[in-house]
Amino acid sequence: MPLEFNFVATTYNNYKKELERELKILLSEFEPITFLPFKTNSATYGKLSGDVIEASKRLWDLAYSDPWKVRRVLRFIPITNNCTVDVFKIKEVARKLAADIPVDASFKIEAEIRLSKLSRSEIIEIVAKEVDRKVNLEKPDYIIEVQIVADSCGMSVLKDRMIFRSLEAKLEGSYFP
């Protein structure tokens, strides 16, 4: 049975526990936050209450206004849809997400696979066949994010700045669509 999650956060190797503590402090207004028991050492998968896109925005704002507050969170990726790691289920979610991308917009697929035997290229091929939009790998209008861990899959359609990236936030300042 796959586990549901609505965010993925990454950190330095072997800092997962510190990452989870930091997220609970920084995103306290989104409590309760639960973390899933996957054995990874630099990523955590979790579920928070409230709008996960707003949580990402909160991290952008914190990293810009007080860079030392955000020390362990390297990336925070919102997830809006969950399914099992099954080709038919992934295709179904990909079709649903494609409807959220305007016909004249471009997209790219970002996929990360942990604790699974699937390859990144397999996942990208499965999802890409379901999205009839222009591909732009350099500056897409939208990103289809695919996160697979064990037998659980999380997917989202996001604009670039909806994914929190600590280094960018600290260097460029807080800009959110």
Per CATH, which fold does 81-158 belong to? Answer: VC0802-like (3.30.2130)
Specify the pLDDT at position 3. Answer: 82
Segment 50-94, tens digit of pLDDT? 999 999 999 999 998 888 899 999 999 999 999 999 999 999 999
Every domain range in the chain assigned CATH 3.30.2130.30: 81-158
Helix ranges (H only) for 16-136 are 16-26, 52-65, 87-98, 120-128
Closest by CA to 36, choosing from 25, 47, 28, 23, is 47
Strand partners, 81: 155
Q: CB pairs under 8 A, 24+ apart, for 17-22?
A: 18/72, 19/44, 19/72, 19/73, 20/44, 20/46, 22/70, 22/71, 22/72, 22/73
C-alpha to C-alpha distance for 174 and 150, rounded to whole angstroms: 34
pTM of the model: 0.92
